[in-house]
Structure 1
Amino acid sequence: MKSKGAFKTIGEVCEIVGLIDPETGKKKTHVLRFWEKHFKEIKPSLIYKGRRYYSEKNIDYVKKIKKLLKEEGYTIKGSKKALLNKNIPVDTYSDDTISTDKLINLKNKIKELKKYLNG
């Protein structure tokens, strides 16, 4: 087992932060690579045939991004603002936009309520 400070592979980072498809159990490495394009602060070292290796600092940043995008419902633009604004805690920062996933979830709940009420 690697020490806590050791660099981690993309698969290991997916396991650490929970980027795993619940149905298939496959690691969502594509999500992490996508985030790398949008968040310049994620800078894995490219070592040995171009493989990505992530530092603890990278992993902590990925955890913050995942929390904002997947748990808090931020957009990429809103999460960038939250991460850049160091004076305001991430948990209390509000964004004017709503994520697509959150909107779809709300629409589905409204449909369910309408079915229930119309009986």
Structure 2
Amino acid sequence: MSEIAPPIDIPNRALFKAAEVCELLKVQPYVLRSWEAEFPDLGVSKAADGPRVYRREDVERVMLIRHLLLVEGLTLAGARRRLVDESTPVAPNVPVIDELIGQNARERLTEVKRGLRSILDLLAGRIGTGEFRLAPPAAHVAPSRRESGSRRASAVTPVSPRRKRSA
């Protein structure tokens, strides 16, 4: 099985979606996900609000895994051993990923967290010091279709909760 596969040109980008990696390497998405499970050092990182993304190094590594499995005919364990033998220790470049995903991701998360806390305060009956405020109710509410002409929407009586009947 020493077929020579045509070279694959990886576009000059920093991040790739899973679908793009599958299309580029001609593998099915379930195959790529299974390789992620088998090779945990595949640097798959999820964007804050988007799909899984791969760095260029990850695409090159998937390309090597594909070659080892499909061209050289190695098993997953054999490919894993070969990758460990050939690998050189590389420090993860986490700040670069943070920049690519979003420089202000932490600020956005903090803002969302603050908003959620103010909603919790509001629901608990205490208005917090946050910026979140509910708008005052509308001055005029149109009567519903079921209401008769003599009753207005502003004169609606509160409904008491129903009690369970005992058997």
Same fold (TM over 0.5): yes
What are the residue-to-residue correspondences of 1:56-71 with 2, within 5 Å? 56-71=56-71
- Structure 1 distance, partners of 2:14, 2:81, is 30
> Equivalent of 2:26, from 18, 43, 48?
18
- Unpaired segments ≥5 residues, structure 2: 1-10, 88-167
Instruction: Name segments (4+ residues, structure 1) moved above 6 Å.
Output: none
RMSD: 1.7
The higher relative CO (CA closer than 8 Å, separation ≥ 6) is in: 1
- Unpaired segments ≥5 residues, structure 1: 20-27, 88-119
Computing the radius of gyration from Cα coordinates, the structure with the larger value is 2
More helix, by proportion:
1
TM-score between both structures, scaled by the size of structure 2: 0.43
What is the CA deviation profile of residues 22-70 of structure 1, one whole-angstrom value per residue up to 9, with x for unaligned ones?
Answer: xxxxxx1111011000101212120143510110000000000000111
What is the CA deviation profile of residues 69-114 of structure 1, one whole-angstrom value per residue up to 9, with x for unaligned ones?
Answer: 1111100000011111128xxxxxxxxxxxxxxxxxxxxxxxxxxx
What are the residue-to-residue correspondences of 1:78-97 with 2, within 5 Å? 78-86=78-86
Aligned partner of 1:74 in structure 2 is 74
The yes-or-no answer on 1:52 pairing with 2:60 is: no
- Structure 2 distance, partners of 1:83, 1:54, is 18
Identity of aligned residues (%): 31
